[in-house]
Amino acid sequence: MKYYKTIVTAVILLFASSINAASVAINPTETFLLTNNDSAAGTTPILLADHGILAGDIIDLEIFGGWNFGVNGHIDFTSNTIAVFSSSSSILLSSTLNRVTGAIDAGTDIISHATFFDDLSTDIAEDFFLSAGAILTIMVPDNALYLFVSAHDSLYQDNSDLNGNYKINLSVSSVPVPAAFWLFGSGLIGFVGLSKKKLWHS
């Protein structure tokens, strides 16, 4: 019986180690979109591997909290968010339309807002929309190593997150089972059969 408990514990730990969850803060003054006359900083990318997420994984993305775009008297005025997967952490100058050099298309395309000044187009083909209160289940595309996340706005320099609750939650909803697990399972079945045989003969 002791051996069975050990094996069951190992199986539980194997599954538990395959399911990862992380909550990452979003800075609403940063963006990966083109900006114009805006002191916004470039988005800091999330390294997916740091959270146990790999290309091919099916993940859940969820936005928590919100941000304010300069509207007085409001802490969490909106939570509109956009994101894009990338094979690279590189982001070009703010005057460049396709700033995320390794951008990879995924999800439902979103037409992003034009810049506040001069109404310049900021739209790129690869980004997608995230709405608060709704979980987006999406497959991490091939070669994707990073996720860039940004508030969806036309002017970023006056944005704020006064209570610090604007975040994205990333969790693996379905992990492909590696071949090693099937080998482990086969060994487990053999071990159980051998144990039963020994008990029968004893």
Residues 83 and 106 reside in one and the same domain = yes
Range of the domain at 60: 21-174
The overall average pLDDT reported for the chain is: 83
Residue 148 included in any domain: yes
Q: Does 168 have pLDDT greater than 80?
A: yes
Residue 89 included in any domain: yes
Question: CA-CA distance, 148 to 97, in Å (whole number)?
Answer: 15
Residues 106 and 129 reside in one and the same domain = yes
The reported pLDDT for the residue numbered 190 is 52
Closest to 160 (Cα-Cα) out of 169, 151, 149, 173: 151
Residues 189 and 151 reside in one and the same domain = no
Residues 26 and 13 reside in one and the same domain = no
Mean of the pLDDT values across residues 190-196?
47
Residues 56 and 116 reside in one and the same domain = yes
**pLDDT tens profile 86-107:** 999 999 999 999 999 999 999 9
DSSP state of 49: G
Residue 36 included in any domain: yes
- pTM comes to 0.78
The reported pLDDT for the residue numbered 12 is 45
Residue 47 included in any domain: yes
Residue 136 included in any domain: yes
Question: CA-CA distance, 159 to 28, in Å (whole number)?
Answer: 6
Residues 9 and 25 reside in one and the same domain = no
Residues 41 and 136 reside in one and the same domain = yes
In DSSP notation, 91-145 reads: B--TT-SS-BTTEE--SSB--PPPPTTTT-----SS-EEE-TT-PEEEEPPTT--
Closest to 78 (Cα-Cα) out of 153, 23, 136: 153
Residues 27 and 15 reside in one and the same domain = no
Residues 6+ apart with CB under 8 A from 182: none
DSSP state of 40: P
Tokens 């703010």 map to which residue? 94
Residues 92 and 47 reside in one and the same domain = yes
Number of structural domains (the chain) is 2
Q: Does 182 have pLDDT greater than 90?
A: no
Mean of the pLDDT values across residues 165-189?
66
Residue 200 included in any domain: no
3-state SS assignment for residue 150 = strand
Residues 159 and 66 reside in one and the same domain = yes
Strand partners, 173: none
Residue 33 included in any domain: yes
Q: Count of alpha carbons within 13 Å of 50, Cβ hemisphere only? A: 9
Residues 31 and 4 reside in one and the same domain = no
